Amino acid sequence: MTAVEHRPEADAATTLPRRAEAPTVEAPPLVRLTTGKQDTRRRRRFTGLERFLGVVLFFALWELASRVGWLSSTDLAAPSKVLDVGWDMLRDGTLGPAIWASLQRVLWGLAIGIPIATALAVAAGLTRVGDDLIDRNIQMLRFVPVIGLQSLFILWLGIGETVKITLIVIGVAFPVYVNTYSAIRQINPGYMELSRVVGLGRWQRIRRVVLPGAMPGFLVGVRLATAVAWLILVFAEQINATEGLGALIIKAQTFFQSDVIVVCLLVYAVLGLVTDTLVRLLEKGVLRWQPGR
- Please tell me the pTM assigned to this model: 0.73
Cβ partners under 8 Å of residue 39, min gap 6? none
Amino acid at 28: P
pLDDT of residue 190: 74
Per-residue CA distances from 178 to 136, 184, 193, 216, 239 (Å): 12, 10, 24, 13, 28
* pLDDT at residue number 42: 57
The per-residue pLDDT for 24 is 53
Q: List the chain domain ranges.
A: 71-286
Predicted confidence at residue 286, as pLDDT, reads 73
CATH (residue range 71-286): 1.10.3720.10
User: Which residue type, as a one-letter code, is found at position 142?
Assistant: R
Would you state the pLDDT for residue 18?
A: 52
pLDDT at 179: 93
Q: What is the pLDDT of residue 289?
A: 62
Q: Are 77 and 259 in contact (CB under 8 A)?
A: yes
Measured on CA atoms in the order 242, 246, 252, 256, is the torsion positive or negative?
negative
Residue (of 210, 219, 221) closest to 178 by Cα position:
221
What is d(CA 46, CA 33) in angstroms, rounded to the nearest whole number? 20
Q: Note the pLDDT of residue 66.
A: 81
Q: What is the pLDDT, as a whole number, of residue 2?
A: 47
> What pLDDT tens digit does each residue of the chain (293 aa) get?
444 444 545 444 444 445 445 455 454 454 444 455 555 555 555 555 666 677 788 888 888 888 887 877 777 788 888 888 889 888 888 888 999 999 999 999 999 999 999 999 988 888 888 888 888 888 888 888 887 888 888 888 888 888 889 999 999 999 999 999 988 888 777 776 777 776 677 677 777 777 777 888 899 999 999 999 998 988 888 777 788 888 888 888 888 888 888 898 889 888 888 888 888 888 787 776 665 55
Burial (CB < 10 A; 0-12, 13-18, 19+), residue 103, is: middle
Contact 227, 174 (CB under 8 A): no
